[in-house]
Chain A
């Protein structure tokens, strides 16, 4: 059977107005500002564009920004899942409180988070003081950037996994157990495939958020050229030199790279969903 290009299976009327409105809305809110970046960048020469986006300090910042954002999202995927699991499956005193705590990184101004983390992890801070004798320095190193990015990314994973876990029928697990599955098998074969799409979505959001993070990172990273400068800082640096096109050039590279990565994650998500639907 031929599938129509625009499919509207909903029994509710109003597909076209809704579709037109969302397209317009996305266009105004998302595409218009983004196209401004393209247009501004287009006013520069190819040589200038290339010299900006491939200068040594910018290259070093891509490595740090993408690397740390990826690692932070990975850590959050594991521990965010754990937090969501505990919040859904167990009853304990203060659960509401813990649940509210998860959202704090959303609400806190990022600069406050950065200052608080730096105070904790600086060499004379509460945690930094304990780590210093072990030779571990967190503040003003790439590790500090990672810590800040983990902090701001946590709610994304927890909040996308939590509702799926909540809706998951526990009887399926009982069924798996009664059919002879071990606990580990029940988890990997039954529970995990259920939450995998939500986990991937949470991972993607945490990653995207971390990639663009500026406010908290500038405080804890120490901003040392070639070592702890994140890409958003270099965009600000360009602006500080009144080099608007240079700033948009770096922004464009980040934009395209993030878009490709997010698209990749979404494709993986579609694949896994289709896989789980057919199996």
Chain B
């Protein structure tokens, strides 16, 4: 009796394009960027397929977000601060294949950033490059690399600079980084916390920060209070993105998840990234915004450290170089 009605309902449901849901699990400083990007992608996808996408965001420390996904947060896509964190998801939960990073162009990093210095207006302590950070009496604010992904980029940037300066002498690099951390009065647990310590509480002469965070801080706190200093060389931070295959397949959202990430590489996506102070990959967008981003010699984690796994093990794991720096100081 009821079956024709049910069948009719099913047919009509199949004909009307159903709304798709997407959960993007990201890290802290991308909040503003993905707000803009999601709106743009929704319009793009609606125009292209007629389907409404509802995109939900989750933000937090990169490592914490990765653990949440491992523990079952149903992320269709992850857009995190380090490849190491997505590696951890692949290894521990097998929700995506181990070769995830080769599935999208540019090591799966559609936009990049780097580590710059934020100093007080007028740069009273005359801090121009990494070498100035180890001067006695300079107070440097950076978060704890054990708990913050951003802090690990800061640390590796300093290490990479020292390696270049001392002709790849590891001992001298370690000395340099040790001296730098002697000048650190507080290690906040996350990047936003460190920005607050420096900008709101007025602690420290220089903050090591993501370039995009530095721009946001200047916009918010005022050009009359802070200014950005670009060191001669720094690290190319490549925040990676990936579809979490098993979750997206289960939600029937694999196609839209893939399109979502690919849209990050499109001129429109790159434009939004650049407007939110991420360095775009696409040459024409990069050219348009080249005056915004200071020119620096940038090295990658792969070039200098042989990848995140190695860098993590050597520097940040228990008993690693970072621990040694503080144990020696005791």
> CB of B137 within 8 A of chain A?
no
Which stretch, B10-18, B42-50, B186-194, B222-230, touches the partner chain A?
Answer: B186-194
Number of interface residues of B (CB under 8 A): 33
B318-A242 in contact (CB<8A): no
Known interface pairs A57-B323, A224-B186. Does A237 touch B147 (Cβ–Cβ under 8 Å)? Answer: yes
Known interface pairs A57-B323, A124-B201, A226-B329. Does A140 touch B186 (Cβ–Cβ under 8 Å)? Answer: yes
Among A55, A125, A139, A226, point to the contact of B330 (Cβ < 8 A). Answer: A226
A224-B326 in contact (CB<8A): yes
Among A52, A222, A239, A240, point to the contact of B185 (Cβ < 8 A). Answer: A222
A125-B201 in contact (CB<8A): yes
Q: Output the nearest chain B residue to A223 by Cβ-Cβ distance.
A: B187
Question: Which A residues touch B184, using CB under 8 A?
Answer: 224
> CB of B316 within 8 A of chain A?
yes
Known interface pairs A240-B63, A246-B318. Does A223 touch B201 (Cβ–Cβ under 8 Å)? Answer: no
- Complex: A239 Cα to B318 Cα, angstroms: 12
Known interface pairs A55-B319, A240-B63. Does A223 touch B203 (Cβ–Cβ under 8 Å)? Answer: no
B318-A222 in contact (CB<8A): no
Beta-carbon contacts of A216-236 to B below 8 Å, as 1s and 0s? 001100111111000001001
Whole-angstrom distance from the CB of B90 to the nearest CB of chain A? 12
> CB of A258 within 8 A of chain B?
no
A118-B201 in contact (CB<8A): yes
Among A226, A240, A242, A246, point to the contact of B147 (Cβ < 8 A). Answer: A240
Question: Which B residues touch A45, using CB under 8 A?
Answer: none
Question: Which A residues touch B79, using CB under 8 A?
Answer: none
Beta-carbon contacts of B133-154 to A below 8 Å, as 1s and 0s? 0000000000010110000000
A124-B146 in contact (CB<8A): no
A219-B201 in contact (CB<8A): no
> CB of A206 within 8 A of chain B?
no
- Complex: A71 Cα to B300 Cα, angstroms: 48
Question: Which A residues touch B122, using CB under 8 A?
Answer: none
Question: Which A residues touch B202, using CB under 8 A?
Answer: 122, 124
Question: Which B residues touch A240, using CB under 8 A?
Answer: 61, 63-64, 146-147
Among B61, B144, B323, point to the contact of A223 (Cβ < 8 A). Answer: B144
A242-B317 in contact (CB<8A): no
Residues of B contacting A: mostly: loop
Known interface pairs A123-B203, A124-B201. Does A223 touch B186 (Cβ–Cβ under 8 Å)? Answer: yes
- Complex: A125 Cα to B197 Cα, angstroms: 12
Question: Which B residues touch A222, using CB under 8 A?
Answer: 185-187
> CB of B288 within 8 A of chain A?
no
Whole-angstrom distance from the CB of A61 to the nearest CB of chain B? 12
Question: Which B residues touch A124, using CB under 8 A?
Answer: 201-203
> CB of B327 within 8 A of chain A?
yes
A140-B318 in contact (CB<8A): no
- Interface hits, B300-330 → A, CB 8 Å: 312, 316-319, 323, 326-327, 329-330
Question: Which B residues touch A55, using CB under 8 A?
Answer: 318-319
> CB of B295 within 8 A of chain A?
no
A122-B92 in contact (CB<8A): no
Q: Output the nearest chain A residue to B326 by Cβ-Cβ distance.
A: A225
A241-B316 in contact (CB<8A): yes
- Complex: A125 Cα to B201 Cα, angstroms: 8
- Complex: A273 Cα to B30 Cα, angstroms: 58
Among B88, B144, B146, point to the contact of A242 (Cβ < 8 A). Answer: B88
B330-A52 in contact (CB<8A): no
- Complex: A235 Cα to B146 Cα, angstroms: 11
- Complex: A167 Cα to B327 Cα, angstroms: 54
B144-A241 in contact (CB<8A): no
> CB of A33 within 8 A of chain B?
no
Residue contacts A-B, CB under 8 angstroms, 19 given:
A56-B327, A57-B326, A60-B330, A119-B200, A125-B201, A139-B186, A222-B187, A225-B187, A225-B327, A233-B147, A237-B146, A239-B63, A239-B64, A239-B67, A241-B316, A242-B67, A242-B70, A242-B92, A246-B318
B residues adjacent to A (C-beta < 8 A): 61, 63-64, 66-67, 70, 88, 92, 144, 146-147, 184-189, 193, 196, 200-203, 312, 316-319, 323, 326-327, 329-330
Q: Which 6 A-B pairs have the closest CB atoms?
A: A225-B326, A222-B186, A237-B146, A223-B187, A240-B63, A140-B186
Supply 11 further A-B pairs (C-beta < 8 A) apart from A56-B327, A122-B203, A241-B317: A51-B318, A124-B202, A140-B186, A219-B188, A222-B185, A223-B186, A223-B188, A225-B146, A236-B189, A241-B318, A242-B70
